[in-house]
């Protein structure tokens, strides 16, 4: 007899550890918290518009505008000034916000109450969020420089960093080490879930484009469910997450 998708285990939730169970679990949670998660997604899209505009050709517009940026010993003008501002926006605001969004989805996966303002919880541990993001960026970037495959593996191994930094208030290096430890034995699962996101987005595009928002919400919840599942297993086995 096939096991049910979700089982109650000692007042917690057990998710069968395979790709379709995680997507199925996330789909259930998506509809349970649909309005809250939709509002979080809309707010995040609005707040990330500056980056989206720049990445999609906004530079052509900025070339015709004048901006001077003085940074103590060096100054930038025109497009280069906008590039510096764009990078600063990504590093100091977009990345922390994305960590906060991961935290909101984790709370949804746990069936914990949350509010839209919780997407800014990452700013309570701000500098660790910034440093951990930089550390992950450097490690994954180095991996991609080694013929791509190591970068993909590193990205999977470090996929729990955002949850650890925001939810458990870990420091950057500690979060990287813990994520590396926690994802042991789950790297292929994380990779497969990530690979399937391409098809989820395609389905979203086929749904008159509006489905892309739904696809994004579903994907975020699915990754949160993986962390939640591994966390539950560690808690049940009394395994500390910061060793």
State residue 204's pLDDT score: 87
pTM, two decimal places: 0.81
Size of the chain in residues = 243
Instruction: Give the separation between CA 25 and CA 6, rounded to whole angstroms.
Output: 7
d(CA 214, CA 221): 11
pLDDT at 107: 96
Q: Report pLDDT for 79.
A: 55
d(C-alpha 20, C-alpha 3), whole Å = 13
**Would you list the domain boundaries of the chain?**
6-234
Per-residue pLDDT of the chain (243 residues), as tens digits, is: 333 333 333 335 556 668 999 999 999 999 999 999 999 999 988 887 776 655 554 445 445 455 444 444 444 444 555 666 777 788 888 889 999 999 999 999 999 999 999 999 999 889 999 999 999 999 999 999 988 899 999 999 999 999 999 999 999 999 999 999 999 999 999 999 999 999 999 998 888 777 899 999 999 999 999 999 999 887 766 556 664
Tokens describing residue 1: 């007899």
User: Which pLDDT belongs to residue 13?
Assistant: 59
């Amino acid at each position: 007899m096939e096991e049910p998708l979700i089982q109650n285990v000692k007042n917690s939730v057990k998710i069968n550890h395979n790709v379709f169970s995680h997507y199925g679990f996330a789909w259930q949670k998506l509809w349970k918290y649909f309005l809250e998660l939709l509002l979080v997604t809309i707010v995040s899209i609005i707040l990330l518009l500056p980056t989206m505009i720049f990445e999609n050709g906004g530079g052509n517009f900025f070339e015709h505008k004048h901006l001077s940026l003085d940074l103590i010993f060096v100054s930038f003008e025109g497009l280069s000034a906008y590039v510096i501002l764009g990078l600063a926006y990504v590093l100091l605001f977009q990345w922390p916000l994305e960590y906060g969004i991961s935290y909101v989805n984790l709370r949804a996966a746990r069936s914990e109450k949350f509010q839209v303002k919780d997407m800014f919880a990452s700013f309570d541990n701000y500098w660790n969020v910034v440093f951990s993001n930089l550390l992950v960026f450097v490690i994954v970037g180095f991996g991609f420089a080694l013929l791509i495959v190591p970068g993909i593996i590193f990205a999977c191994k470090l996929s729990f960093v955002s949850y650890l930094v925001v939810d458990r208030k870990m420091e950057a290096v500690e979060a990287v080490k813990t994520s590396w430890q926690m994802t042991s034995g789950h790297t292929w699962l994380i990779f497969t879930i990530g690979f399937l996101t391409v098809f989820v987005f395609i389905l979203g595009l086929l749904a008159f484009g509006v489905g892309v928002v739904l696809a994004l919400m579903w994907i975020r919840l699915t990754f949160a469910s993986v962390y939640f599942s591994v966390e539950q297993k560690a808690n049940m086995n009394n395994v500390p997450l910061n060793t």
